[in-house]
Amino acid sequence: MATIQQFKQIRPSVSPEVQSELYKLLIQDLDAAVQRMIEIGNENDVSFTVDEVRSYLREMDAEDEFDDIELDEATLAAVSGGGQRDEQC
């Protein structure tokens, strides 16, 4: 079973562009974002389940760990335009 520490350790290896893509997916399609995060874990030889990713995301959000993500213009437009976030997280 993967840990949140492993989840957090992968983040620095993810390019800012991919992090922005993931944040955009989190806003627009949570399931797609979770699947993409699982893929990134697999690329880094760490296996995550859907439930683990959702749990890690909730924990990281509670710790304000997403405050430093730089968003591209399209993502900013989606956020400011009232893009809905899937509340299943």
The span from the CA of 12 to the CA of 18, in Å, is: 11
Question: Is 3's pLDDT higher than 90?
Answer: no
Q: Is the pLDDT of residue 80 over 80?
A: no
| The pair of three-digit structure tokens given for residue 67, joined into one six-digit string | 């405050």
pLDDT class of 1 with cuts at 50, 70, 90: confident
Reported pTM: 0.70
How many CB atoms are closer than 10 A to CB 48?
23
Given the structure tokens 């995550």, which residue do they identify?
A: 48
Distance CA 89, CA 55 (A): 8
* Contact yes or no for 17/24 (Cβ under 8 A): no
Domain coordinates in residue numbering, the chain: 4-80
% of residues, the chain, pLDDT over 90? 31
For residue 72, the SS3 value is coil
Question: Is a pLDDT exceeding 90 seen at residue 61?
Answer: no
More confident site: 81 or 44: 44
